Amino acid sequence: MILEALGIRKGFSELVLADISLRLERGEILGIVGPNSCGKTTLLRILAGLEGYYEGEVRRNGSLSIVFQEDRLLPWKTLMENICLGLKYAGRRDIEKALNYARRLGISEEDLRSFPRRVSGGTRRKAAIARALALEPEIILMDEPFTGLDFSTMVTLRSSLADLLRERGISAIIVSHQLEDLLTVVDRCVVMTPKPSKIGAELNMRGMGLEERINLLKDVLMRMVSDHGP
Ligand SMILES: Nc1ncnc2c1ncn2[C@@H]1O[C@H](COP(=O)(O)OP(=O)(O)OP(=O)(O)O)[C@@H](O)[C@H]1O
């Protein structure tokens, strides 16, 4: 186990996460799906240590980076400078390695030298992911990495990202509404119920083809809708 959540409970004006327990194994890619506002982002923030108050426990056995839903790039710095920002603060000099992650994700040399406003949304998303990978974390948490991208960007990002994670043995949790893209890359998937949310189902998808994965998830979602209402 590299990351584990035990009995997480968290609310704001109302209870959002009622009782969430999950476990990420070393080298595993875990998907999280769930209805709007069930608390997926809040859960990622708790796993990353960014939420001050919650009940339950998070256990972590490795370094962690998070990719937020918004790219959060500094507009006055080039993509290259943005990607290397964390390295600079960490006092590290392995810039070439960081830029290689960016290239592997499909960012061109020209875009690397450009400011965020000059490049496409897809390239900004890739830069945000490259910035997180540049720190060479053992765990990466990604909030909606495939959402809002055009089809070809999504397909190339999905495969280059999965290759990089597998190659480097990085353990990952990916939250996504893009079910087909998510299911293509995960080993396992957990499904959250509507809030106050719990884990409604846990699906081991290793060794399954995409169609089988989609059908399995569809069945589970249909069952959960009939149990919890729309
Ligand atoms: N800082 C906050 N203050 C008050 N309420 C919050 C805060 N953060 C989240 N919430 C509320 O908690 C609930 C869960 O939000 P969260 O963004 O975690 O859900 P989500 O599943 O990621 O949503 P989506 O599917 O829309 O991305 C929502 O009702 C949201 O309004």
CB 147 near ligand 1, within 6 Å: no
Measure 95 CA to ligand 1 centroid, in angstroms: 35
Label residue 89 by pLDDT band (50, 70, 90): confident
Cβ of residue 39 lying under 6 Å from some atom of ligand 1: yes
Amino acid at 114: S
> What long-range pairs does 100-106 form, CB within 8 A, spacing at least 24?
101/130, 101/133, 101/134, 101/164, 102/126, 102/127, 102/130, 104/160, 104/163, 104/164, 105/129, 105/130, 105/157, 105/160, 105/161, 105/164, 106/156, 106/157, 106/160
Phi/psi of residue 175, nearest 5 degrees? -95, 130
Query: By three-state DSSP, how is residue 74 classified?
Result: coil
- The residue among 127, 134, 133 whose CA lies nearest residue 96 is 134
Q: In this predicted structure, what is the pLDDT of residue 91?
A: 75
Distance, in Å, from the CA atom of 222 to the CA atom of 4, rounded to the nearest integer, reads 28
* 91 vs 147 pLDDT, higher one: 147
Query: Closest by alpha carbon to 117, among 70, 150, 75, 85?
Result: 75
Give the pLDDT confidence score for residue 230 in this predicted structure: 54
Model confidence at 225, pLDDT cuts 50, 70, 90, reads confident
Q: Domains along the chain?
A: 1-63+140-229 (3.40.50.300), 72-136 (no CATH)
Q: Is this complex's ipTM strictly greater than 0.90?
A: yes
Question: Hey, what are 159's tokens?
Answer: 């495969």
Read off the pLDDT band of 93 (50, 70, 90): confident
The yes-or-no verdict on residue 229 having pLDDT over 70 is no
Element at 54 (helix H, strand E): none
Question: Model pTM?
Answer: 0.94
What residue type is 222 in one-letter code?
M
C-beta of 12 in contact with ligand 1 (< 6 A): yes
Whether the predicted pLDDT of 155 surpasses 60: yes
Q: Is the peptide bond before 196 cis (omega within 30 degrees of 0)?
A: yes
Q: What percent of the chain is predicted at pLDDT more than 90?
A: 79
Q: How confident is the model at residue 210 (pLDDT cuts 50, 70, 90)?
A: very high
Q: Map residue 77 onto helix, strand or coil.
A: coil
**How much is the pLDDT for 18?**
97
Phi and psi angles of residue 102, each rounded to the nearest 5 degrees, phi first = -60, -45
Mean pLDDT for 20-41 is 95
Tell me if 224 CB under 6 Å of ligand 1. no
Residue 213 has pLDDT above 70, yes or no: yes
Nearest CA to ligand 1 atom 8: 42
